[in-house]
Structure 1
Amino acid sequence: MGVVDYGVGNLGSVVRALEELRVAPVLLDRPNDMYATDRLILPGVGNFADCARLLEAGGWTAALHDAVKGYGRPLLGVCVGMQLLADSSTEGVSEGLNSPGLGLIPGQVRHLRSFGCTHRVPHVGWNGVTRMRADDHLFQAIPDGTDFYFVHSYAFAPEDSDDVLATTDYGVPITAAVRRGHVWGTQFHPEKSSRAGFRLLKNFVEGPMC
């Protein structure tokens, strides 16, 4: 299991969670190292534009496309890591502009207010998650409505509703998890979501390759 280390935080908590599952995580600090692992986790915290620039500057953008599309590596994006799967985001750029993402799942990341959210932003805390696709193994043995831990001010709006794996209610429906093919993402932090989060990581680790 490879955890992409491109210079952002929350790596430690992801690695510790995987170790609790008796998985031997490998911190990948060079893009070429991805090809020696069977699955990938892309973490992320902070500003989308900053994270996207780090990916591009480190050669990760092209390498992730190659590993995922060319070599079929399953990928799980976590928090901003999920948002980076999108085509673009309005975070961290001037009004009217967009910061490009990986484009692995078509859609845009926007501020919660743009969805009509009137609750406090950022959204910090535990929220119930409702599955949109009951057949997906990522939520296997996790009851519908289970709480997961969120910390975010922006949310992913996929172009295709079929790519929405789960939602959460924060005054308005917000995408909580996505999937397209062998690419998954969670807006919440599974590594900080107690037993349910650990179960989700276990499902990703042990699930099918596609």
Structure 2
Amino acid sequence: MPAVVIVNLGTGNLYSVYKALVHVGAGDVRISSNPSEIRNAGHLVLPGQGAIGTWMRQLGKQPELAAAVRARLDDGPVLGICLGLQALYAYSEENGGVACLGLLDGEVRHFAASRGQADAAAHRGDGRRKIPHMGWNQVQQTSGHPLWRGIDDQRRFYFVHSYYVEANNEHEVAGTCTYGNRFTAAATRDNLFATQFHPEKSQRDGLRLLQNFIHWKGVH
């Protein structure tokens, strides 16, 4: 059976994703930057924490790896996590502006620290939004995607991020969350599914999503 391959760009705690996948029954799980392993992966995971500029630079430094990742993104089940979601869009405001992979329609914006209408949990006592958005928050499912199977709507998942996706195509949005403003918490297109939250840190529902992923064939 083809392996579940976690792409290693040196960003984030990849081992926590590895342990979660093993826990839900993925047999052969590998953390790899080997282009051949990535091309031949049964399921591919694009994780990442930190800065998108670093993530994209690491990918750009390894042309064979970059080519393998881009090729594999068009074929077979792919799960993006955190930066792995943001990297699928065309552009991020982070690091002064970064061109990303451009597979989904939208941009990555910074949570504004200014005053304004927002839910109380998102703000300090003086009205300024707390950045980063860190902790548990509800996700509203906006599509009947197979990765949501067995997960009730409005369940809480774990987030850690200062930038968020502003999607231009509502058909590519699989879930939303509100933190001052509404943003894309999960996105999908064809064989791609990606989350801003961390399923590996989201206890029962996050593990269920990972279990659904390893059984997903990459189609709705």
TM above 0.5: yes
Per-residue CA distance 1:26-76 (angstroms, 9 max, x = gap) = 11122222122111000000001111111111233322221122xx12111
Contact 1:178 / 1:185 at 8 angstroms: preserved in 2? yes
The correspondence for 1:125, drawn from 119, 130, 135, is 135
Q: Which residue of 2 aligns with 1:36?
A: 40
Write out aligned runs for 1:160-179 (5 A): 160-179=169-188
> Is structure 2 residue 15 aligned with structure 1 residue 6?
no
Q: Which residue of 2 aligns with 1:147?
A: 156
Deviation at 1:207, TM superposition (A): 1.5
Contact 1:6 / 1:58 at 8 angstroms: preserved in 2? no
Letter in 1 for 2:5: G
> Is structure 2 residue 83 aligned with structure 1 residue 74?
no
CA spacing shift, 1:114–1:100, aligned 2, 3 Å: farther
Question: Partners in 2 of 1:62 and 1:37 — Cα distance?
Answer: 14
Q: Which residue of 1 aligns with 2:198?
A: 189
CA spacing shift, 1:114–1:165, aligned 2, 3 Å: farther
Ranges in structure 2 where 5+ consecutive residues have no aligned partner: 119-127
Q: Which residue of 1 aligns with 2:211?
A: 202
The correspondence for 1:87, drawn from 85, 90, 93, is 90
Larger radius of gyration: 2
Question: Partners in 2 of 1:177 and 1:38 — Cα distance?
Answer: 21
Question: Partners in 1 of 2:179 and 2:166 — Cα distance?
Answer: 15
Q: What is the RMSD computed on CA atoms of the aligned residues?
A: 1.6
The total of aligned residue pairs comes to: 203
- Secondary structure in structure 2 of the residue aligned to 1:113: coil
Letter in 1 for 2:91: S
Structure 1 segments of 4 or more deviating over 6 A? 114-117
Question: Partners in 1 of 2:103 and 2:32 — Cα distance?
Answer: 20
Question: Partners in 2 of 1:65 and 1:40 — Cα distance?
Answer: 11
Given the two structures, how large is their TM-score scaled by the length of structure 1? 0.92
Given the two structures, how large is their TM-score scaled by the length of structure 2? 0.88
Question: Partners in 2 of 1:180 and 1:114 — Cα distance?
Answer: 31
Letter in 1 for 2:47: P
Deviation at 1:186, TM superposition (A): 0.2
Question: Partners in 2 of 1:49 and 1:68 — Cα distance?
Answer: 20
- Secondary structure in structure 1 of the residue aligned to 2:153: coil
Identity %: 37
The correspondence for 1:51, drawn from 35, 55, 64, is 55
> Is structure 2 residue 163 aligned with structure 1 residue 158?
no
Question: Partners in 2 of 1:159 and 1:88 — Cα distance?
Answer: 12
- Secondary structure in structure 2 of the residue aligned to 1:191: helix
